[in-house]
Amino acid sequence: MVDTKKKLPIAIEDIYEAKNVIKPYARVTPLIQSMFLTAKTQGQVFLKLENMQLAGSFKFRGAFNKIAHLTQAEKDKGVIAASAGNHAQGVALTAKLLGIKSTIIMPETAPEAKVKATEGYGSKVILHGTVFEEAKAYCEKIVEETGVTYIHPYDDEFIIAGQGTIGLEILDAIWDVDTVIVPVGGGGMIAGIAVAMKTFNPNIAIIGVQAENIHGMTSSFYEGKKVGYNKAPTIADGCAIEFPGDLTYQVAEQLVDGMVTVSEEEIELAMKDLIQRTKIVVEGSGALPTAAILSGKVDQYVNKKKVVTVVSGGNVDLKRITDVIGHFSVANELH
């Protein structure tokens, strides 16, 4: 069992309950071995393809679990969320499936594909601010003024438990996994997965990856207290969170074994290689674990280990994919 210094926000029972709640709708996503990444390392590397989840990312799990647990009065008020894109789509699709009105506040810099997809699920989209924190503040203002039900993107027990179902699926497929490498923004996914994996086997290493440009959880993890870090925009826009959540940080400081950051070029290279070598369309956030592996920054957790990396989402603009591929095509021509 998990040995903690203080009580965690969720327990394994919450994750099992979430599994039953989302089961009628959510997909059990594929888990495949990447022969490319396995050949590149001294370990066996597998990909958990959350880019093939409903709405194109893992966020559907947490959003559905949270909204399904609302009271009827809360559902009647409608739901609202702030998101750079994936949480938006998870909330929007869930609301549509359950017949609930939804509004999403997105930063003006959100990828067009994510905005269009969110609107396509029937949500009202309001663009506000240039970064997630500004969109979130505006969302909270609307909640205060109208009483609409707020669905937090990561710092919520039901959200964390929903994301933790990924961990259960990993264990169902590879019970003897040594390392799980997870993209991190606010920390909902790594917190849920960490509780699931560490409850089963405390020796499983849980490693988080963020962009060098924005990495609040990484800074907090190594500072030993919640701090923010936001230097510049990142192609991993789904993980562009300056400060981690209170609940998610509480789990991370106890159960996560390490955090690393990767550069924008390393993320782009990982996106390109995942498309070219594994035929997987992935957004910047979903490429973070692959970037960490290719850069050699997690070798101690990969070499001679059985490793699962979470491909968190595939909601990426075609223009961005074209730019990434074009960037490396030009580089190759120059050489």
The residue from 118, 146, 174 where one domain ends is 146
Its sign, for the CA torsion 240, 244, 249, 253, is positive
Encoding tokens for residue 153?
Answer: 């993107």
Please state, in angstroms and rounded to a whole number, the distance separating the CA atoms of residues 10 and 196: 10
Please state, in angstroms and rounded to a whole number, the distance separating the CA atoms of residues 244 and 192: 14
Encoding tokens for residue 250?
Answer: 């509480």
State the catalytic residues: 59, 312
Q: Which residues contact 308 (CB under 8 A, 6 or more apart)?
A: 31, 46, 47, 48, 170, 174, 177, 179, 180, 181
The residue from 94, 116, 146 where one domain ends is 146
Domain holding 139: CATH number? Answer: 3.40.50.1100
Q: Assess whether 47 and 118 both reside in one domain.
A: no
Q: Cβ(64)–Cβ(26) under 8 Å?
A: yes
| CA-based end-to-end distance of the chain | 53
Q: Which residues contact 86 (CB under 8 A, 6 or more apart)?
A: 55, 56, 57, 58, 59, 114, 238, 285, 312, 313, 315
DSSP state, residue 295? T
Q: Cβ(216)–Cβ(244) under 8 Å?
A: yes
Q: Is residue 258 part of a domain?
A: yes
Long-range contacts of range 115-122, CB-CB < 8 Å, 24 or more positions apart?
A: 115/85, 117/55, 117/56, 117/89, 117/92, 117/315, 118/85, 118/88, 118/89, 118/92, 121/55, 121/89, 121/92, 121/93, 121/95, 121/96, 122/92, 122/95, 122/96
The residue from 146, 169, 199 where one domain ends is 146
Q: Is residue 1 part of a domain?
A: no
Provide the residue range defining the domain that includes 103: 78-146
Pairing mode of beta strands 44-49, 31-33: antiparallel
Q: Assess whether 208 and 244 both reside in one domain.
A: yes
Q: Assess whether 301 and 181 both reside in one domain.
A: yes
Q: Assess whether 195 and 46 both reside in one domain.
A: yes
Helix (H) or strand (E) holding 88: helix 86-98
Q: Assess whether 244 and 139 both reside in one domain.
A: no
Q: Assess whether 274 and 189 both reside in one domain.
A: yes
Residue-level pLDDT at 173: 98
Q: Assess whether 163 and 297 both reside in one domain.
A: yes
Q: Assess whether 252 and 174 both reside in one domain.
A: yes
Please state, in angstroms and rounded to a whole number, the distance separating the CA atoms of residues 14 and 174: 21
Q: How many domains does the chain have?
A: 2
Q: Is residue 126 part of a domain?
A: yes
Encoding tokens for residue 130?
Answer: 């240039």
Q: Assess whether 163 and 139 both reside in one domain.
A: no
Residue-level pLDDT at 335: 37
Residue-level pLDDT at 132: 78
Q: Cβ(315)–Cβ(283) under 8 Å?
A: yes
pLDDT tens string, the chain, 335 residues long: the values are 455 556 899 999 999 999 999 999 999 999 999 999 999 998 999 999 999 999 999 999 999 999 999 999 999 999 999 987 799 999 999 999 999 999 999 989 887 878 888 999 999 999 999 887 899 899 999 999 999 999 999 999 999 999 999 999 999 999 999 999 999 999 999 999 999 999 999 999 999 999 999 999 999 999 999 999 999 999 998 898 999 999 999 999 999 999 999 999 999 999 999 999 999 999 999 999 999 999 999 999 999 999 999 999 998 888 888 888 877 765 554 43
Q: Assess whether 180 and 137 both reside in one domain.
A: no
